[in-house]
Each structure stands twice: as structure tokens, then as C-alpha cells.
Amino acid sequence: MHGPEARSPLGPNSRSRSAECALGTRSDAELLQSMGRQRDESALEELFRRYQTRLYNQAMLLTLDHALAQDALQESMLKVWDAAPRYVDGKPQAWLLQIVSRQCLSLLRSERVRKRYSAEAREGGEAARTEGGGEQVAEQDPA
């Protein structure tokens, strides 16, 4: 399934109908304050529902990879939860987009490093096989 998942970042069935109705009218800043002060999981879910498509699109724009975009979105929501107590008044959407963008860049760096070490390990394995096995002999430069 492509695109942002329509499920809560906290798992299925973790919110009540009364909580949904009450949260539907709160501003983004109020949701963040509720997350920060009362550790209100339903506030995180509402914020996720409001922005999941926008945040996923930002992640896809940066990563060009569905799996990395999904990982970035999930990790970002955990960071939002952790950072909510420190959120100060501002522009919640910009704050969320910034978190997702930074998470994408971090995942891309990690992916690039993983690929580089994987390639070096493969090349190192080939070099060890050719040196020890005598299968290939490098030509010497007649100087």
C-alpha cells in the first residue's frame, strides 16, 4: 500500500470516540500543549491525522523512496511526542515539516553510509580472495 497509512502512530484502537469529538475543534498548538503537559496520546493521533498526507509528501519529496518516507514519518512522530513538552508557541505545521525534513536527511545519510560500507566490505572480500588464492596476479609496472 502506497501513501501515508491511515492508522494511528500509536497502534489500532488506542482512542475513544468521545476523545475524537473533543479533539476535532482544538488548534494544532492546543494539541501540542496537551501532548506536552498531559502526555495526551489522542492529541498526537489527531495531529497525525491532520498532517499525515502533508508530512508523507514532504518525506517522499526528499527521499524518493516509499519505505524511507514511511520510516521517516514514523520516527518523526516519535520525535514530536518526545519534543512536545519543549514546544513553544510558533507555527506547528512548519515545526512538524522541519522535524520530518531533518529525519529524512538523517535516514538518507545512514542509508548512504550503510551502502558505502556494504560496498567496501564486498570489495575487501574480493581483494582478500584474489590475494590469498592466487587467482589473479597484478601486473607490475616496469619502471
Q: What is the pLDDT of residues 90-113, one digit of tens each?
A: 999 999 999 999 999 999 999 888
Q: Does 24 score more than 60 pLDDT?
A: no
d(C-alpha 111, C-alpha 13), whole Å: 33
| pLDDT attached to residue 118 | 82
How far out from the chain centre does Cα 133 lie? Answer: 44
Task: Decide: 22 and 74 in contact? Cβ < 8 Å.
Answer: no
Q: Quick one: pLDDT band at residue 72, thresholds 50, 70, 90?
A: very high
Q: Quick one: pLDDT band at residue 60, thresholds 50, 70, 90?
A: very high
Using alpha carbons, select from 52, 49, 83 the residue that is nearest to residue 69.
52
- Other beta carbons less than 10 A from residue 90's beta carbon: 10
C-alpha cell at 99: 522535524
| pLDDT attached to residue 67 | 94
Q: Does 31 score more than 60 pLDDT?
A: yes
Q: Specify the 3-state DSSP secondary structure of 6.
A: coil
**What Cα–Cα distance (Å) separates residue 105 from each residue in 14, 23, 51, 73?**
30, 32, 19, 12
pTM of the model: 0.67
